[in-house]
Structure 1
């Protein structure tokens, strides 16, 4: 009975991972039931149970289901096991030094995805970020993760050439403006945003490089402006020191000036 239930759950996940679900951004209960050949009530109960565990998530507006943050987090951790193993102890030290939550992020298409979050146990905790994607253009992590990109590569990644304002308050609306922010981050060795991603929230990120010197991930520290705003640049430099330590663990040896 247990193996049969597991098989049915896997069937649901395979449908939500299919081309139709990916193209539409999710599927309703009726469509999932049709594709799996199961009764609507059974599918609805199974999807609600999977939603409770974070394996799938439901869009509050369309009521359609898609694969959830917890599933992506598990896959991401296994795929980036060496990166996570190198970063985790450094992240613990950084989180406790700054007394803020620290996130390990990677680039996925036009989004920044969090692989791992470490909290120092402060009252403000960033729940549910692991496995979730956020827009590149309005985040410090996004600008850091694109440090190796050229303007031509940005146009390929963002073919529309501009970014919708949506709920974000970032001044970045075009690829040219994003390129300027990336250039500033490359020059400083870190990036920061001041209420660009979310009102009242500030954040900073620095790059993690592999043995070839390529940016493969970023460390991000985000917190309410009332708490981190005045020390944001200091936190940025501390984050950059932490990413340098992780990069060395991955085999990157920066050239020292002669």
Structure 2
């Protein structure tokens, strides 16, 4: 009983450190945490010291405020891939049925996107995508997967390359500045689109999936024949954005929270 009570009080401290106030201020001090949890400062201080010793929280040496720690994020990250798949699966099926098109779940792997799940809602299907990699610049999913990148990060990743996708002449993105504009356009609209850029005769739209920190961890993509999809890309884009938002919410992302800088 005592152990459960103590665990509950520690969880209350972690929840306070994950609050909007903590995010805005870069952390909370002992006094603020004591007020937030209704505990004595001495009790809060001892609990924080114990959690810091296990990496669950960390203390800023200059400001003396506490933040969520590296080990907590590591534990979450280790479970994120399986959590993502479990949460996304029913959403993929609903979206495929709603639009009667093929839906993909894509993640960033090194300098390419990887399709980890494909669900078809139509007799037409872009086959064989699960486990395949594709370039980032010429795909709508790739552009939303880069939503968190700053211009400097894009130049570090791609800057030494004269043509980002020389094998894809239909792409409207071939340089880093063009990629940055496409990434920002997608971020402002909430979804990205492509028409015959990666594969002739195929159009699609993608939207980002964010985790509890607001970090983009995946993209939902809807693809189909250009003749059928291109004329309703706005409808498809809005639907895929809503579906991605639903997955993000299940992963703990609050739509009212501000994404990380550069997103």
Structure-2-length-normalised TM-score: 0.65
Residue equivalent to 2:156? 156
Whose radius of gyration is greater, 1 or 2? 2
Question: Which residue does the alignment assign to 1:42?
Answer: none
* Corresponding residue of 2:135: 135
1:224 aligned onto 2:225:
yes
The 3 A distance-change label for structure 1 pair 123 and 183 is same
Relative distance call for 1:207 and 1:150 in structure 2 (3 A) is same
Listed one character per residue, the Cα deviations across residues 7-44 of structure 1 (whole Å, up to 9, x for unaligned) are xxxxxxxxxxxxxxxxxxxxxxxxxxxxxxxxxxxxxx
1:1-258 residue pairs with structure 2 within 5 A?
A: 80-120=81-121, 122-162=122-162, 163-255=164-256
The answer to whether the Cα contact below 8 Å between 1:105 and 1:219 also exists between their aligned partners in 2 is yes
CA RMSD across the alignment: 1.7
C-alpha separation in 2, matches of 1:219 and 1:168:
24
Shift of 1:168: 4.2
CA spacing shift, 1:255–1:138, aligned 2, 3 Å: same
Q: What is the CA-CA distance between 1:192 and the residue it aligns to?
A: 0.2
Q: Is this contact kept in 2: 1:95–1:119, CA < 8 A? A: yes
Q: Contact 2:186/2:192 (CA < 8 Å) preserved in 1? A: yes
How far is the alpha carbon of 1:254 from its aligned partner? 1.6
**What runs of 5+ residues in structure 1 fail to find an aligned partner?**
1-77
For residues 30-84 of structure 1, give each alpha carbon's deviation from its aligned partner in whole angstroms, at most 9, with x where no partner exists.
xxxxxxxxxxxxxxxxxxxxxxxxxxxxxxxxxxxxxxxxxxxxxxxx9721100
* Aligned partners of 2:196 and 2:203 also within 8 Å: yes
Partner-residue secondary structure (3-state), 1:152 = helix
Shift of 1:157: 1.4
What secondary structure is seen at the aligned counterpart in 2 of 1:193? strand
Query: Runs of 5+ in structure 2 lacking a partner?
Result: 1-78, 259-263
Name the SS of the counterpart of 1:149 in structure 2.
Answer: coil
**Alpha-carbon distance in 1 for matches of 2:167, 2:257:** 43
The answer on whether the counterparts of 1:94 and 1:102 sit within 8 Å (CA) in structure 2 is: yes
